[in-house]
Chain A
Amino acid sequence: MSVPFLAMQEILKIFPPAVVALDRVSVEFRPGEIHAVVGENGAGKSTLMKVLYGLEAANSGQIQLRGQAVQFHSPGQAIAAGIGMVHQEILLVQEYRVWENIVLGLEPAGWFGRLDERQALRSVQQKIDEFHFNLDPLARVGEISVAARQKVEILKLLYRNVAVLILDEPTAVLTPQEIPQLFAELRRLRAGGKTILFISHHLEEVLELSDRITVLRKGRQVATLETSATNQAELSRLMIGRELARPPRPAAAPPGQPVLEVEGLSYRDGAGRLRLQDLSLQVRAGEIVGVAGVEGNGQFELVNVLMGLNPPESGRLLVQGHDLTRAEILERRRRIAFVSQDRGRLGAAVRATITENALMTHHRLNPRFTRWRGWRLEARAALQFARRIETQFGVSMASPEQPFQSLSGGNQQKVILGRELLLETPFLLLDQPTRGLDVGSMEYVHELILTLRAEQRAILLISADLEELFRLSDRIVVLHRGRLVADLPAVSASLEQVGALMLEGKEHPDGPQAD
């Protein structure tokens, strides 16, 4: 019997105070294979990889590399042993050039620690050529595409001669068109003898790319299978514990009057770059309009301009006929409810209590919550209001006086949704409302959005998840470089069509073009 190349044995990881993230997981990896680790959000995929990579210390269990027990206390040690990881949130210095990022930490140096720029550039170029990566080593990382940054991350590891590459959901940041190129590169790496660990929850990808698959569910290892011997239905059953049932989309009622009207909206940022260009858009009562686009194509700016954080350069914004183009934020909030993608930064003050978070905006708009002409808060009304959110939205909380951060992600989002929906505004702006939620909470939010449509509210839904957009929207608009390049009925649009629009800004890309 041969010694396994890389083995993780009985890994137990508990996050303080008592969340079992990995429950005695054991996996073996073979040299020169692409091994997929799949599971739902929160199943423990990333944690398993972080333990392997030395970013998290396991509470018990051990890791063996070529028969030797190893324990990494830092990524540096893992890399030195030949194991490298490409993170989901790409970890590069934006201010540095591609080559500087690649050599950082392993720089060729001359006398007095002087950086040997020429030597560094030469070895980086050599790696780029060796693996056929199409990259300019002198480009500044802040100015290249997300796909290119991912390549820089991979090259950074190849420059360190790692034998094992861990990729944490690498396709999450890519458009459908960019994925095949990544897969081709990964296959080339496998042909070069590298072992690739690939985290994903997209089963089609996993089936297409991998040799073997390990399935995790709620911190437990459910199975490790040969890819050739399994199929999508079996995998999804293993992942979720039941067959994935997709509820039929309720038929849309005929949409009503236009609620949100955006006319010729343009926005220029501080550096003078045009970020939104002549945007025109309508959302009617009882209609969900989905905004698709690769991240960084104007979604952020659109949200900021709609909410009044940044003033537009030109154009108009109306809700139910009221001109809000230059209105104060409070004035907007009478008509716009807003759920942001970043709960901790935009959606809540996490150290304040649940009640205090629930009260925001209401305290200014609803006289019920104040006395003395608005000067004094009505604490009891606020508490009752938090309780109402608790029951109406099924939030599980110990007490409304607990800090907001004591809630789980799903419950936090429910409180935020409750607060915003109870503003009873005609228009809702939802910016990736399911980001970072587990599958149960995600389904809850989707149901809620469909209910809101039935209540004749107008909804603008921004999402990076195309499946979500197709599942919920009546119309899909596509943002590309700050312009709306398409407005399609969701029923007749196809995933490929929208993917091409997101990437190229037009429907039929005529071959790969350099931007």
Chain B
Amino acid sequence: MNIFKGLINGMIAGATPILLAALGGTYTYYAGIFNIAMEGMMLAGAFGAVLGSYFFHSWLAGLLCAILGSTLLALIFILFAVVLKTDEFITGIALNLFAVGATTYLLRQIFAVKGAFSSPEILPIPRLHLAGLEKVPVLGEILSGQNLLVYLMLAALLLSVYVIFKTRFGLRLRAAGYNAPSLDSSGVRTAVIRVWALLICGVLCGLAGAYLSLGYVTLFSENMSAGRGWISLAAVILVNGNPWGIALISLLFGFTDGLGLWLQQSLPSQFTAMVPYLATLAALYFYSMRRKRLAR
């Protein structure tokens, strides 16, 4: 029972940042932006979270600063890719570099440390105990007591499904990706839709980053996003942006993450750490084979 609970909780913990960032990526995916800057946005969010929480002694301030940090990156993306029309791929690469550089630099400047910063004054984001749900048999322990961001993630998932497929904004958002000239000729400026998509992506990646540095652990370390942004991107591409598909894939990655921890009893940790990346390759394999069959 405890192993089961541990695996499920590990899965949720691993899935949360990936799902949040991938949901952000799904907005830009539908808007027709080749956005590979999720990795950098997450990292900026993680740093902002620690910064805010440490200085204001409040996890809420941390959360807000996380959103601020990653949205700042989104704004730079907007400036270059949308306004100045620089290549999106190049902008993304430069932003990821910028995020790594800026967070390491600021880590050194503000906290005067190299590598990682942790302090008891950083307040983590609390877990939420829902009295009603705790009483549910078997599942109660899983449904209740999760990190606040896990519940926010669920809300973001449901909201995204609604926004993308049921609203006026969603219709325009998808049109921006399917056929931008058509949207422009309909009197809606594609550039404006893309700006919104990137801002939403910034907010969601900020939450993902905050989960990394104030939820999963309570510290910031250099490059702590560790490729999770890339995995989110892979998830978005693999399911063509469908939010439910993204949820499924994120849970799968979360599971392999938990599995890796569990495997550490029998394998060197370096190999268990590879598991999520190998899982991404496996998912890509199945996706590509399916597509290849369809193309025949």
Contacts and interface: CB of A to CB of B under 8 A. Distances in A.
Interface of A: 74-77, 79-80, 85, 87, 91-96, 100-101, 104-107, 109, 112-115, 156, 160, 270-271
B179 A93 contact: yes
B187 A106 contact: yes
Contacts of A75: 184-187
Interface string B269-296: 0000000000000000000000000111
16 contacts: A74-B187, A75-B185, A76-B184, A79-B187, A85-B185, A91-B185, A94-B179, A96-B171, A104-B171, A104-B183, A104-B188, A105-B183, A105-B186, A105-B187, A107-B168, A109-B167
Most A CB contacts (10 A, CB to CB) among B166, B185, B188 go to B185
A104 B167 contact: no
A96 B163 CA distance: 17
B56 interface: no
Given A75-B185, A104-B171, A107-B168, 4 more contacts: A91-B182, A104-B182, A114-B167, A156-B186
Interface residues of B, number: 24
B55 to A, nearest CB: 35
A87 B179 CA distance: 14
B172 interface: yes
Interface string B157-201: 000000100111111101100110111111111000000000000
A113 B188 CA distance: 16
B189 A76 contact: yes
Contact of A92 (B168, B169, B179, B189): B179
A115 B166 contact: yes
Contacts of A114: 166-168
A115 B189 contact: no
A92 B182 contact: yes
Interface in B181-240: 181-189
A247 B195 CA distance: 57
A169 B189 CA distance: 25
B199 to A, nearest CB: 16
B12 to A, nearest CB: 28
A273 to B, nearest CB: 12
Given A104-B171, A109-B168, A114-B166, A95 B178 contact: yes
B187 A93 contact: no
A101 to B, nearest CB: 8
A1 to B, nearest CB: 34
B172 A105 contact: yes
Nearest to A117: B166
Contacts of B171: 96, 100, 104, 107, 115
Nearest to B296: A270
Contacts of A109: 167-168
Contacts of B187: 74-77, 79-80, 105-106, 160
A502 B163 CA distance: 44
B189 A74 contact: yes
Contacts of B181: 91
A91 B167 contact: no
A50 to B, nearest CB: 11
Closest A-B pairs by Cβ, 8 of them: A76-B187, A105-B186, A113-B167, A91-B182, A270-B295, A109-B168, A105-B187, A105-B188
Contacts of B174: 93, 95
Contacts of A80: 187
Contact of A93 (B166, B167, B168, B182): B182
Contacts of A76: 184, 186-189
A76 B191 CA distance: 13
Interface string B102-125: 000000000000000000000000
A93 B184 contact: no
Given A76-B189, A79-B187, A115 B168 contact: yes
Contacts of A106: 186-187
B166 to A, nearest CB: 6
A94 B178 contact: yes
Nearest to B169: A113
Most B CB contacts (10 A, CB to CB) among A95, A100, A104, A270 go to A104
A102 B106 CA distance: 51
A72 to B, nearest CB: 11
Nearest to A107: B168
A113 B168 contact: yes
A115 B167 contact: yes
Nearest to A55: B185
B185 A87 contact: yes
Contacts of A105: 172, 183, 186-188
A290 B163 CA distance: 51
A109 B163 CA distance: 13
Contacts of B188: 76, 104-105
B287 to A, nearest CB: 16
A189 to B, nearest CB: 19
Contacts of B295: 270
Contacts of B168: 107, 109, 113-115
Contacts of B185: 75, 85, 87, 91
Contacts of A101: 182
Contacts of A104: 171-172, 175, 182-183, 186, 188
Nearest to A76: B187
Contacts of B169: 113
Contacts of B189: 74, 76
Contacts of B175: 93, 96, 104
A160 B169 CA distance: 19
Nearest to B184: A75
A270 B166 CA distance: 31
Nearest to A74: B189
Most B CB contacts (10 A, CB to CB) among A79, A107, A160 go to A107
Nearest to A160: B187
A345 B189 CA distance: 28
B158 to A, nearest CB: 13
